[in-house]
Chains A and B, each alone.
Chain A
């Protein structure tokens, strides 16, 4: 094996690839060949570094230099300056927005300082398409330890002791789930990995599969050993082509290395994995719906019990865990349950990956110990709100979750504290909202989603959510009444109480939590016919301030419906009955005379 002196790690996640990181990779390779350095410097594509805001990322090892927003044409300079002359390319380093100083080492960046990466340990560190790199980072050591030194019951005991809870949203103790499935009697059992990440704005599972597919494969095999299953199935979104491709490569390599297949590590244990594709249905994140979808049916949920651990795929006992949950397993086995249980809060152990997005400076994927405060996540790691605006709320848990506001910023987040605050952990999406966002519109956005994604099987979810959505639309259009607010609340509770599966039981949460925290905004829409953040078009009025108007006619000339009248050098006026509220006048006015009322 060649011993390289230097490694260039190029991010190959979906986000960075959209900014030409592939071309950058090829340019770097080309430069290295050109300079005859191919035996000394290695360039590899890795999974997501998490710092998507400043992608594409290139990291130089061993000196840990972290370059951001690297363009394909920067390749030559990186090789000529950094690799050959040992001088950092200053202009590509991250600039700390507070001190305005360059930060070369990612360890000193605010974004990484408070993070602890367990599930993401290999993302942005190894080449996901090379099994040897995974093995060199203790890969498959946990599987070996389980198969050769531990009984299934001992492994389950270890998992229980670790306190790991399901990361897909439910938070059910993983060890307990394994134990229940292991006790079901059957000739065949299945391990299913839920990689149908449908929560809009969450991309942690995709990043794990893209950056470290072997950790999931290894964990599935460990689970198979514990529950007595010889077959695993990964149910993955067809919309994630890159993750599918990397997973397939990883599976092929594991088979070649004898880490999947018959007689793994010379034991009697055999395990194989298959891939099933989702086809775009949010409800398939629910485990019974997911199982029906794997069987080639419409992804409609069924009543539990029976739980999948008793009767699941093809009516056999089936253990369903989410990608991030699996990614934690090998580390727990390697480092021990006590180590894992020492991280996190009292009832939520370990770390959680969050996808930070919305109006925040550092959009990206982060992993923090359970119990970290929202303030740390949003203002330290996330770098605060974009464009110096004011923080308004953070939406967690996606369409099933709720909003947390200023007063919740110091909550130590874990499964239980988020639920107590009226939101939920969900799969870990965090959408940050600023003062310009209208909370009624946000609630409506989520209801639009739920209405579209409801499978239609049970009436409360199919019809109730549609009615909720109509009422919200009415309020956004300024036609709501106070009675609608009561109706909204009552119907929300009925839907929560009577829906069949988790989707319906949680779908009114965005409505309830915005009503609890932003009741004033609902009132403003209904009583004053105003949208305080100026988002609801029907409630806006564009007006020209006579004092500032110089009569340049720019607004009148650009108005698509000729709603603005006025003489040259005279004050202009907008006719409200013709105005379509397109905002062209506001954009064109150079004298700040047009404003929104």
Chain B
């Protein structure tokens, strides 16, 4: 059993989310979506709380969490950076942009910088293919990003 380290209040909120979906096992994915937007990620302890409330095994919850790329067990950075790796962005040089982010932030894909500021991930097509290659920081979309432009994007958030 993982130690419950999140606040009592968060636990109550998660339980309320489960209840909102009638503690129905079939609603697991909806519950996970809501919980992730509340907590930011889905660590083991959170999965245990959900499994208890929906009356299913932790293994089942874990199986679903790890199946879908949208769910994460690692906390995202304050500014999550996603590089679009859809085909359109790929052929217009997204890989070089990703390499530059990796080099400057010094973290691999799927990880967060030690100061918790940036996390780096890849996603498949945001559908802004006209602006390829595309990078998203939080909700903001940056289009036609070149490797040279990477440091300017990071700079924008470094001070924040």
Contact = CB atoms under 8 A, between A and B. Distances in A.
Interface of A: 14-15, 17-19, 52-53, 55, 198-203, 206-207, 238-240, 276-282, 293, 295-299, 314, 355, 357-359, 363-364, 395, 398, 429, 431, 433, 437, 442, 445-446, 449, 455
A227 B92 CA distance: 45
Nearest to A363: B130
A298 B128 CA distance: 28
Contacts of B33: 238, 277, 279
Contacts of A19: 131, 143
Given A279-B69, A281-B69, 7 more contacts: A52-B131, A200-B87, A276-B30, A278-B68, A279-B32, A298-B63, A364-B130
Nearest to A360: B88
Interface stretch (B11-19, B20-28, B73-81, B111-119): B20-28
Given A295-B26, A358-B91, A363-B88, A280 B68 contact: yes
B134 interface: yes
Contact of B29 (A201, A276, A429): A276
B87 A277 contact: no
A207 B127 CA distance: 9
Nearest to B29: A296
B130 A52 contact: yes
B128 A201 contact: no
Contacts of B131: 15, 18-19, 52
B98 interface: no
Residue of B70, B90, B132 most packed against chain A (CB within 10 A): B90
B30 A277 contact: yes
Contacts of B88: 200-201, 357-358, 363, 431
Interface of B: 24-30, 32-33, 63-64, 67-71, 85-88, 90-92, 123-132, 134, 141-143
A15 B84 CA distance: 13
B124 A296 contact: no
Contacts of A14: 126-128, 141
A365 to B, nearest CB: 9
A442 B86 CA distance: 12
Contacts of A279: 29, 32-33, 68-71
Given A238-B33, A299-B68, A445 B87 contact: yes
Given A200-B87, A431-B91, A363 B69 contact: no
Contact of B70 (A202, A239, A314, A357): A239
The 6 closest A-B pairs by CB, nearest first: A52-B130, A203-B127, A279-B68, A357-B88, A18-B141, A200-B86
A296 B33 CA distance: 11
A165 B25 CA distance: 35
A320 B54 CA distance: 28
Contact of B26 (A282, A296, A358, A446): A296
A52 B144 CA distance: 13
A577 B92 CA distance: 29
Residue of B124, B128, B130 most packed against chain A (CB within 10 A): B130
15 contacts: A14-B126, A15-B128, A15-B130, A18-B134, A200-B125, A201-B87, A201-B129, A240-B127, A277-B30, A296-B26, A298-B64, A358-B88, A363-B132, A395-B87, A445-B87
A431 B89 CA distance: 10
A357 B129 contact: yes
B127 A429 contact: no
B71 A239 contact: no
Given A238-B33, A239-B123, A298 B67 contact: yes
Contact of A238 (B70, B130, B142): B70
Nearest to A583: B96
Nearest to A54: B130
A297 B87 contact: no
Contact of A15 (B64, B70, B127): B127
A445 B76 CA distance: 26
A597 B82 CA distance: 34
Residue of A239, A281, A293, A299 most packed against chain B (CB within 10 A): A239
Contact of B92 (A202, A281, A359, A442): A359
A364 B124 CA distance: 17
A296 B127 contact: no
A359 B91 contact: yes
B47 to A, nearest CB: 14
A202 to B, nearest CB: 7
A55 B30 contact: no
B5 to A, nearest CB: 25
Contacts of B141: 14, 17-18
Residue of A19, A207, A296, A359 most packed against chain B (CB within 10 A): A296
B70 A280 contact: yes
Contacts of B28: 296-297
Contacts of B129: 15, 52, 201, 203, 355, 357, 363
A276 B24 CA distance: 14
A364 B123 CA distance: 20
A14 B64 CA distance: 29
A198 B126 CA distance: 10
A429 B27 CA distance: 32
B70 A431 contact: no
Given A238-B33, A358-B91, A358-B92, A296 B67 contact: no
Residue of A238, A281, A433 most packed against chain B (CB within 10 A): A238
Contacts of A203: 125, 127, 129
B104 to A, nearest CB: 14
A117 to B, nearest CB: 18
